Amino acid sequence: MPRVGIVALIQESNTFLPGTTTFEHFRQDLILTGEEVRDYFGAAHHEVRGFLDGLARAGFEAVPIFAARALPFGTIETAAFDRIVKMMLDELESNGRLDGLLVAPHGATVAQSHPDADGYWLSRVRKVVGPQTPIIGTLDPHGNLSAEMVAASDALMSYRTNPHIDQEQRGIEAAELMVRTLRGQVTPVQAACFPPMLINIERQCTSEPPLSELVAEFEAVRGRGGVLSASLMLGFPYSDVPEMGAAALVGTDGDSVQAQSLANQLGEAMWSHRSGLAGSFISVEDAVTQARTLPAPICMLDMGDNVGGGSPGNGTWLVHELHRQAVGPAFICLYDPTAVMQADAVGVGSRVRLTVGVKTDDFHGSPFQAAFNVKFVGDGKFSESQVRHGGITEFNQGHMAIVETDDKLLTLMLTTHRTPPFSLRQLTAFGLDPLSFRVIVAKGVNAPLAAYQPVCPSILRVNTRGVTMADVTQLPYHHRRKPMYPFEIETTWNP
């Protein structure tokens, strides 16, 4: 029975954050070895579950080796990254002979010592297993593809949806390709194209034009003879690294010339759509004004404070403007451990004056002060049974509080753990009815849509300032490629 190892290292690194990702951040989320990997991911809507299920269906032995994940945050500290990679390699070497390896890198991981962190650890893994052992895996399309990642693997394929609701399917696809490879039915090779362009985060929803038109072109290539995969890499603009940007990746059955030709063809298609993918921005004031008349509930996406992109989760631009224009009732979740402690101290049913939100910078707004009635204090854990962005089923907001202004205009959920808005259970698990609000602020861009679109007839993506702001021309890049569209608007390119 063929033995296929499984390895995952997933973290999206926002290099514009002053803070760094530490080993403790991984420990707080996931560091798993051996059968712990199977136990955790066996019921998750995740590519690792897809790996396990796809191998089991073929009668292959799945060998879970290592999985580590941290919530998106800053660049990974050198000591933490070195420790995690060593753990991975030690576990890999201790598992003996492997016929193949299924891998799940994110693609936008950045370490202080290795800006192309995914390319680095994949290359280290390649040295351990040798050149003849197939390495096949998945990528988050928000990754920044590198030549080293491509060279270190035989086939990588990205999720096809954003919000990411097809991770399990892509894991199964990767496992099935591994099975065909080990049975000698195919010989995967791959090639990439790197047009010098950015697909703005505001235009990265795969079901909305113009990106949906580009998605269709990738789907057409997948239907070509000899093609094993075709991946649209949207890129992660908040990692200031030379690899930052969009890319096309094509895998074929033993034909590297075909792979490169098709990758170039898709790169040209991406380039032809560049102006429509540059983004369109709504100001905070205009968004709140529009919310007066749009059908409710309105999901107001706080793009500059996108927790799924590494932001602090405490931005207050929309809090202030909703209060100023008296638009509500509105729900907003803020990461604010100090305010949680203060609400806890007075207890449910009490009234307390709080200063909530930003306390360390002015990039994400300013603190908001008001008198609040404490409606709830307690454990912030909740579960999600439906397929949602990221495949996460268990959430932990830490100790939390729900407070409400006297006029009931603002309902704030205050947490001690940053939590991305990937599930409506964030509200309903604590007795909040989404339909009771005119505005629900979700600190994201596209990821929340899988949860919120079913109940929100109106969606507004808001160009708030912050470390994940959509207008990326305002961010202080130092390492990105130049020229690159739309930063250098006159950029020209031929594949």
Give me the tens of pLDDT residue by residue for the chain, a chain 495 residues long. 899 999 999 999 999 998 999 999 999 999 999 999 999 999 888 999 999 999 999 999 999 999 999 999 999 999 999 999 999 999 999 999 999 999 999 999 999 999 999 999 999 999 999 999 999 999 999 999 999 999 999 999 999 999 999 999 999 999 999 999 999 999 999 999 999 999 999 999 999 999 999 999 999 999 999 999 999 999 999 999 999 999 999 999 999 999 999 999 999 999 999 999 999 999 999 999 999 999 999 999 999 999 999 999 999 999 999 999 999 999 999 999 999 999 999 999 999 999 999 977 889 999 999 999 999 999 999 999 888 888 888 999 999 999 999 999 999 999 999 999 999 999 999 999 999 999 999 999 999 999 999 999 999 999 999 999 999 999 999 999 999 999 999 999 988
**Is 88 a domain residue?**
yes
The answer on 372 and 252 residing in a single domain is no
The answer on 271 and 147 residing in a single domain is yes
Q: Which residues contact 257 (CB under 8 A, 6 or more apart)?
A: none
Structural domain count, the chain: 2
The answer on 310 and 270 residing in a single domain is no
**Is 269 a domain residue?**
yes
**Is 483 a domain residue?**
no
Q: Show which of 277, 309, 325 is a domain's final residue.
A: 277
**Is 60 a domain residue?**
yes
Q: Show which of 277, 301, 333 is a domain's final residue.
A: 277
**Is 494 a domain residue?**
no
The answer on 321 and 251 residing in a single domain is no
The answer on 174 and 117 residing in a single domain is yes
The answer on 67 and 194 residing in a single domain is yes
Whole-Å CA distances, 418 to 75, 308, 311, 381? 17, 10, 9, 12
The answer on 203 and 265 residing in a single domain is yes
pLDDT per residue as tens digits for the range 434-484: 999 999 999 999 999 999 999 999 999 999 999 999 999 999 999 999 999
The answer on 297 and 263 residing in a single domain is no
The answer on 368 and 399 residing in a single domain is yes
The answer on 211 and 302 residing in a single domain is no
The answer on 165 and 31 residing in a single domain is yes
pTM over 0.85: yes
**Is 296 a domain residue?**
yes
pLDDT per residue as tens digits for the range 339-383: 999 999 999 999 999 999 997 788 999 999 999 999 999 999 999
- Amino acid identity of residue 102, one-letter, is L
Q: Show which of 246, 277, 308 is a domain's final residue.
A: 277
The answer on 268 and 129 residing in a single domain is yes
Q: Which residues contact 220 (CB under 8 A, 6 or more apart)?
A: none
**Is 14 a domain residue?**
yes
Which pLDDT belongs to residue 43?
87
Instruction: Supply the range of the domain harboring residue 74.
Output: 3-277
Nearest-10 crossing angle of helices 78-94, 117-129: 20
Do 268 and 429 form a contact (C-beta atoms < 8 A)? Answer: no
Give the whole-angstrom CA distance, residue 320 versus residue 316: 6
